[in-house]
Amino acid sequence: MSKITINRGSDLTLTGTWRDANGTAMDLTGWTITDYDGHASMQGNITAQWVDASQGTYTVTMQWADAMFSGMSFRLRISNGTQDVSSPAITVIVQ
pLDDT at 14: 93
User: In this predicted model, what pLDDT tens digit does every residue of 59-90 receive, in sequence order?
Assistant: 999 999 999 999 999 999 999 999 999 999 99
Mean pLDDT of the chain: 94
**This prediction's pTM:** 0.89
- Across the chain, the runs of DSSP E, i.e. the strands, are 3-6, 12-17, 32-36, 46-52, 57-62, 73-79, 84-86, 90-94
pLDDT band of residue 1 (cuts 50, 70, 90) is: low
